[in-house]
Amino acid sequence: MRYEVTTTLSPQAAITYAKNYFGLQGVGLEVIDEHGTSVTLTGGGGHVSVIACSDGKKTTLELETREWDYPVRQFMQEVS
C-alpha cells in the first residue's frame, strides 16, 4: 500500500523520526537501506519505505508498506 502525508518536519528530521518509530526500539523493524532523505526497514514478513521531499515550507512523505499498514497510519497521524 502507498501513502502520502505532509509534515512541518525537515526531510532529515522526518527520516530520523521514521527510523526511531519503525526501528528496533519502536515497531521492531530493521533498517536495510538508508540515504539522506529515505529509509527502508524490514521485518515480520513485510517492509516500510519512507521518502521525504521538501518544497521549502513543508515536507511530503511518501510511504510504501507491506504488512505494516496500521503502524504506518499511526505514524502519519503523529507527523501530520
Q: Encode pLDDT of 41-70 as tens digits.
A: 999 999 999 999 999 889 999 999 999 999
Query: Could you tell me the fold of the domain covering 2-79?
Result: TATA-Binding Protein (3.30.310)
DSSP state of 41: E
Q: CB of 58 within 8 A of CB of 70?
A: no
Measured between alpha carbons, how far is 31 from 25 in angstroms, rounded to an integer?
12
Q: Which residues contact 33 (CB under 8 A, 6 or more apart)?
A: 39, 40
Amino acid identity at 3: Y
Name the pTM for this structure. 0.96
- The residue extents of the domains of the chain are 2-79
